[in-house]
Amino acid sequence: MKSIILDEIIVKGNRVDYFFRVNGKIQKYFKHSHHLFFEYNDDVSEIPISILTIPFVANVAPLAWITDSLVSVAELDESFHDCLSNIKEAYQNMYPDVLFKGEILASSIVNNSYTPQYEAAQLFSGGLDALATYIRIKDKQPLLITEYGWHHNEINKSEVWNQDKKHVVGFAKDHGLENILVLSNYGTFLNAQVIDRDFLKKMGDSWWHGLHHGLAIISAAIPSAFKLNVKCIYIASSYFEGYKAKCASDPTIDNEIRFASGRVFHDGYDINRQDKVKVVVDYYSNNNQQANLRVCFLNKENCCNCEKCVRTIIGVVAEGKDPRNYGFNIPQDLSFHIVNFLEENVKFFTPARVMQWNLSKKRMIENRDNILYKDLLEWFLDYDFVVERRKSLLKYRITKFFPIVKRKISTRLNRILTQNN
Ligand SMILES: [Zn+2]
């Protein structure tokens, strides 16, 4: 039987280490160390084992389900245990081509409860989605939870994390909030590439994006939320109601998660990405704080060159604002920069990307009189992403493909000529 067995949890001060065994054909999906850890900026040693087991189960459960394996632990919180079947069912609905089987077995199911002391905690990266959610729930004074899950077996120095930390600690200070900081290796303890090799095609999405990251990120916050008696953990949505997407973090999954007396809410699903930009710029227009959006993935600062940076820059421009005031050190000639960006990148735009860029374009048309970059208006409003994508892809294929064909023809020609000689 394929199984993942939690052998030992070592809790020491701020840190929890999990050591486990893997049996059967699923061993290839795990790094050899069979070790997962979390380190918090607060003592976790008094938290019940049945609660501390949640992050472990959450990180391996989806893998157990798609590989029909067993997860075995000594103790598990009852609320979390009971919500697992709903989560499994929700993933099954999202990925109808993969069978979700397998089982989570706990020798002892423990009832934990508390009277909430904090209304809200929020997973907070400092990016656009998280900032919009913060603004929407700011009256609840959420605890801000920020994580870095890309360590390897041990905690390594990370410039990215140092910058993230500096940013969120500063943000909390400016807004009179508290930080919960979590370091982990949840992003690296599995062989995601091997899982993708076997499942990407069937799922139509990668392991990390499609199944793992939502539960990993949310569950890492649960021990702290338990300790501080938090009523609800908020996670900002990346997608919105009007656009169904496959994603590990989805309202049909996140809103099912329960732990002790706490729950989870997937926030912002009712508004699209451009609406979120508006929430953020309106908020900063009405107060004197310096806005600093952090959107670039695993980067010290916004590079202004990647798709996510450029898309957010366009979103801010569409609201009639200067991206320089929102944490983007953009080049002098923004219109030229966007032209170059699209020339290189539009061919890689997925339908989801086209949809998002069109939201900004639509807003720019409505808001035309307030746009600060007039030269951008001259061409961007007529830019057809679908047509340009097709053209660019064709050009790309011809320029890449033609030399190959030419080479093949000349090799064959040479061969014929040599044979005839
Ligand atoms: Zn970037």
pLDDT digits (tens, 9 = 90+) for 114-144: 999 999 999 999 889 999 999 999 999 999 9
Q: How many domains does the chain have?
A: 3
Residue 282's CB: how many other CB atoms inside 10 A? 11
352-363 burial, b at 16+ Cβ within 10 Å, e below that, comes to ebbbbbebbbeb
Cα(80)–Cα(59) distance, integer angstroms: 13
Regarding whether 212 and 80 lie in a shared domain, the answer is: yes
Rounded to the nearest angstrom, the distance between the alpha carbon of 310 and the centre of ligand 1 is 7
Rounded to the nearest angstrom, the distance between the alpha carbon of 398 and the centre of ligand 1 is 29
* Helical spans, DSSP H, in 75-155: 78-94, 128-137
Rounded to the nearest angstrom, the distance between the alpha carbon of 309 and the centre of ligand 1 is 4
Regarding whether 300 and 263 lie in a shared domain, the answer is: no
Question: Tokens 């944490």 label which residue?
Answer: 327
Q: What is the pLDDT of residue 412?
A: 78
Rounded to the nearest angstrom, the distance between the alpha carbon of 329 and the centre of ligand 1 is 11
Residue 209 lies in a domain: yes
**Residue 314 is encoded by which pair of tokens?**
């366009």
Regarding whether 330 and 401 lie in a shared domain, the answer is: no
Rounded to the nearest angstrom, the distance between the alpha carbon of 72 and the centre of ligand 1 is 41
Regarding whether 417 and 335 lie in a shared domain, the answer is: no
At residue 246's C-alpha, the angle toward residues 249 and 313, to 5°, is 75
Rounded to the nearest angstrom, the distance between the alpha carbon of 302 and the centre of ligand 1 is 5
- What's the whole-model pTM score? 0.89
Which amino acid would we find at residue 311?
Answer: R
- Residues of the chain where predicted confidence (pLDDT) is lower than 50: none
Rounded to the nearest angstrom, the distance between the alpha carbon of 396 and the centre of ligand 1 is 23
Regarding whether 299 and 176 lie in a shared domain, the answer is: no
Q: What is the pLDDT of residue 420?
A: 57
Rounded to the nearest angstrom, the distance between the alpha carbon of 36 and the centre of ligand 1 is 29
Regarding whether 416 and 346 lie in a shared domain, the answer is: no
Regarding whether 392 and 365 lie in a shared domain, the answer is: no
Rounded to the nearest angstrom, the distance between the alpha carbon of 306 and the centre of ligand 1 is 4
Q: Is 110 helix (H, G, I), strand (E, B) or coil?
A: strand
Of 250, 267, 284, the last residue of a domain is: 267
Q: What is the residue range of 352's domain? A: 295-383
Rounded to the nearest angstrom, the distance between the alpha carbon of 296 and the centre of ligand 1 is 4
Regarding whether 205 and 316 lie in a shared domain, the answer is: no
Of 229, 248, 267, the last residue of a domain is: 267
Q: What is the pLDDT of residue 310?
A: 97
Cα(311)–Cα(304) distance, integer angstroms: 9
Rounded to the nearest angstrom, the distance between the alpha carbon of 342 and the centre of ligand 1 is 14
Rounded to the nearest angstrom, the distance between the alpha carbon of 5 and the centre of ligand 1 is 40
For the chain, what is the largest distance between any 2 Cα atoms, rounded to a whole number of angstroms?
92
Regarding whether 411 and 308 lie in a shared domain, the answer is: no
Regarding whether 74 and 149 lie in a shared domain, the answer is: yes
Residue 288 lies in a domain: no
| Beta bridge partner(s), residue 29 | none
Residue 279 lies in a domain: no
Residue 7 lies in a domain: yes
Rounded to the nearest angstrom, the distance between the alpha carbon of 124 and the centre of ligand 1 is 18
Rounded to the nearest angstrom, the distance between the alpha carbon of 293 and the centre of ligand 1 is 11
Rounded to the nearest angstrom, the distance between the alpha carbon of 387 and the centre of ligand 1 is 25
Rounded to the nearest angstrom, the distance between the alpha carbon of 316 and the centre of ligand 1 is 15
Cα(280)–Cα(129) distance, integer angstroms: 9
Q: What is the pLDDT of residue 143?
A: 98
Regarding whether 165 and 30 lie in a shared domain, the answer is: yes
Regarding whether 302 and 186 lie in a shared domain, the answer is: no
